[in-house]
Amino acid sequence: MKIVILSRNPRLYSTKRLVEAGQQRGHEMQVIDHTKCDIIIEKRKPQIFYNGESITGVDAVIPRIGASVTFYGSSVVRQFEMMKVFTAIESQALIRSRDKLRSLQILSRAGLGLPKTAFTNYSKDVEGVIDHLGGAPCVIKLLEGTQGIGVVLAETRSAATSVLEAFHGMQARVIVQEFIEEAKGADIRAFVVDGVVVGAMKRQGKKGEFRSNLHRGGTASIIELSEDEENAALKAARVMGLGIAGVDMLQSSSGPKIMEVNSSPGLEGIEKSTGKDIAKSIIRYVERHVD
């Protein structure tokens, strides 16, 4: 089987591991930079050109699309879908997952636990917005932020008011969420592949840091999910339409609170903390669906 990985950097850990896992199972693996693909649209003959050559004979695609190129990356994935090629992440699910506000609305409609969230059209009544969440402390997040960038913990009402007014003054779209204090700067990443949790880790922020992102100095350790946590992760991936997903949750006194469902979750942290071959699970998922 010929499997294409859409990735801008073949040297990234996740990309290399997928190539290794595919080759170990006897597949032809090719890494293609989706930002350098040309999409040709004509009647009944969708095509993709890469380095001047038409891409043909592909059985499956594994998208690894960065947030900064979601628009073009999802267009390339959609073109493969039009060419009747199986894609491990569907284009519409990719777009849906990158819209933080839409994602929260979908998860809320499905009855999943979430941190209480407020979003307004640059409201001047910022204190009223803070009151909706029960006051400070609260977390303010840029809608376009990734890897913990653009996330602020406002510990007092005056700090929250100042940060919100500053973001609104810059016409920056933000959401405001309740602060889950009992999480103690930690969260859980459940890695879901084809309706099964194939690995889970607990990420702890460094001392004095409420964000648990590994890119920001956090540490990760293996964790066994509770039944509620596993069910929440599986349901979140399902309602988002994702065959591969990293579901990020906070542990709270009222059960798991889902923060985000990631459509291109990295493999390095989860594989090293759990010792599990997540890349192999992804390749086997592709095999099942292509067969």
Domain at 182-290, CATH homologous superfamily: ATP-grasp fold, B domain (3.30.470.20)
Beta-strand pair 151-154/138-142: antiparallel
pLDDT at 208: 57
pLDDT at 183: 86
74 burial type by CB count under 10 A (0-12 exposed, 13-18 middle, 19+ buried): buried
pLDDT at 120: 87
Pick one of 2.60.120.480, 3.30.1490.20, 1.20.120.80, 3.90.930.12 as the CATH number of 117-179: 3.30.1490.20
CATH topology of domain 2-96: Rossmann fold (3.40.50)
Give residue 147's identity as a one-letter amino acid code.
Answer: Q
DSSP state of 43: T
pLDDT at 2: 98
Q: How far apart are CA 93 and CA 47, in angstroms?
A: 22
Q: How far apart are CA 164 and CA 142, in angstroms?
A: 11
* Listed residue (261, 225, 232, 250) closest to 139, CA to CA: 250
Q: How far apart are CA 236 and CA 249, in angstroms?
A: 10
**Positive or negative: CA dihedral 192, 242, 14, 260:** negative
Buried b (16+ CB within 10 A) or exposed e, 28-61: ebbbbebeebeeeeeeeebebebeeeebeebbbb
Comparing 117-179 with 182-290, is the CATH topology the same?
A: no
Go through the chain and tell me how many residues it has: 291
Indicate the SS3 state at residue 210: coil
pLDDT at 147: 59
Indicate the SS3 state at residue 165: helix
138 φ/ψ angles, rounded to the nearest 5 degrees: -145, 165
Strand order in the sheet with 37-40: 37-40, 47-50, 53-54
132's enclosing H/E stretch is helix 126-132
pLDDT at 20: 98
Q: How far apart are CA 10 and CA 19, in angstroms?
A: 9
CB contact at 8 A, 62 and 88: yes
The residue ranges of the chain whose pLDDT is under 70 are 145-148, 206-217
Q: Domains of the chain: which residue ranges?
A: 2-96, 117-179, 182-290
* Listed residue (6, 7, 102, 4) closest to 60, CA to CA: 4
pLDDT at 200: 97
Paired tokens of 242? 């994702």
